[in-house]
Structure 1
Amino acid sequence: MNLDTLYVIDQKDGLGLEFSKLVSMMNYTRYTTTEAVKALTVEELDFLYDEGANSIGMLLAHLAAVEKAYQIETFENRDLTEKELSKLLPGLDLGSLGREQIKGNTIDYYLEQLAETRNTTIETFKTLPDDWLYEQTPFWWERPANNFFKWFHVFEDELSHRGQIRLIKKMLSNRNR
């Protein structure tokens, strides 16, 4: 990611103009998420402020799982298979399943998962025409949504969870005082 153009929403190499705008926003969002977590320890990533909470590690796994699910839904135009769902479910749903299965990982593990998933997204975007972003299909509650909205939701969800991550980090710092 080029930090010199982090705050510029403009043309990106290999992408159409509309994809470039989307990727510019996704890049900024990912950069700020990464900056918020890059120095966390396994203990900090696994910290649960109460028995029903999500950890930072769980939220990072959620970001990767959501993006993978949207890759399947939009790039392959299909629902997740049972096998895919069972693999992604701890990250997608979080909660008790996530608390059981998503722990003990280093920050490098989560950052690698996020990077691999994002690389697949960007490489696929490079193969699609900008018009693809405007293709509509039934979505939540059978209302129409286009692919642009669906991918906006991917990084909008990340922004929301980054806020949670920052709150959890504050709880951690208050606990350590």
Structure 2
Amino acid sequence: MEKRRFIIEFGKTQDHSIDYLLGILEDARITTLQAIANIPTAEIDWQFQEGWNTIGALLAHITAIEHYFRIEFVEGRKLTDEENNQWLPGMEMGPYLPQLIKKQPTDAYIIELKESRRMLMEALQKITFTNFVKRIEDYDPVTGCNLAWALYHMVEDEIYHRGQISIIRKLYKSHHSNPNFKVVDF
């Protein structure tokens, strides 16, 4: 398992602001991988209630969103029909939730997370500071956004979902260790 470094290295790219974001991306992913290490498949696919996200669905979402952000914001192109079919279930979740329950081991999700991050980092090696700060017509009709914000938002989303994974793990453990556990209707 990769270890957090607790340091962000500068000088990897031509611009320190890009180095800073790359360090944040790396640390966020390592922390996610540490949080899911050795989770049994039964826990990956467990739902607190019907329609609730599973850990596996959230991991599929993190992976799909990363591919989407790489393609749309870093590469600057639209998803192909094939890419859209591949990543839409993970991006949207909701009605696609049943097909995101795959009965695959944690290691399969780890491989997908590592591959999506490798592809993103490779694509980011080609950007310049101008690409990083250039206005993109997205998110806000008045201000738009830029690649720096889009990637920050992607990391923010991963961290948010890692919190959900933590809650699901606690609910799973409570449910499976307490025979009197009752699901409360929210």
Normalised TM-score (structure 1): 0.91
Q: How far does the alpha carbon of each residue in 1:147-170 deviate from its partner, in whole angstroms, 9 at most, with x for none?
A: 000011111100000000000000
Q: Distance in 2 between matches of 1:126 and 1:26?
A: 13
Range moving further from structure 2, 153-162 or 136-145: 136-145
What code does the residue aligned with 1:161 have? H
Q: Distance in 1 between matches of 2:69 and 2:152?
A: 11
Range moving further from structure 2, 6-15 or 95-104: 6-15
* SS of aligned partner of 2:53: coil
The residue number in structure 2 matching 1:116 is 115
Q: CA deviation at 1:171?
A: 0.2
Q: Distance in 2 between matches of 1:57 and 1:81?
A: 25
Summarize the alignment of residues 90-129 of structure 1 with structure 2, pairs less than 5 Å apart: 90-129=89-128
Contact 1:15 1:125 in 2 (8 A): no
Aligned length: 176
* SS of aligned partner of 2:127: coil
* SS of aligned partner of 2:99: helix
What code does the residue aligned with 1:154 have? M
* SS of aligned partner of 2:160: helix
Q: CA deviation at 1:2?
A: 7.2
1:77 pairs with 2:76 = yes
Range moving further from structure 2, 146-155 or 74-83: 74-83
**Identical pairs, percent:** 29
Q: Distance in 1 between matches of 2:74 and 2:27?
A: 23
Summarize the alignment of residues 35-50 of structure 1 with structure 2, pairs less than 5 Å apart: 35-50=34-49
Summarize the alignment of residues 140-151 of structure 1 with structure 2, pairs less than 5 Å apart: 140-143=139-142, 144-151=144-151
* SS of aligned partner of 2:69: helix
Q: How far does the alpha carbon of each residue in 1:76-98 deviate from its partner, in whole angstroms, 9 at most, with x for none?
A: 31222332211111100112313
Contact 1:17 1:130 in 2 (8 A): no
* SS of aligned partner of 2:136: strand
What code does the residue aligned with 2:93 have? L
Q: How far does the alpha carbon of each residue in 1:111-168 deviate from its partner, in whole angstroms, 9 at most, with x for none?
A: 1111111111111111222221101111124341000000111111000000000000
Q: How far does the alpha carbon of each residue in 1:36-55 deviate from its partner, in whole angstroms, 9 at most, with x for none?
A: 11110111100011111010
Q: CA deviation at 1:12?
A: 5.5
Gaps of 5+ in 1: none
Q: Distance in 2 between matches of 1:50 and 1:113?
A: 26
Q: Distance in 1 between matches of 2:43 and 2:3?
A: 27
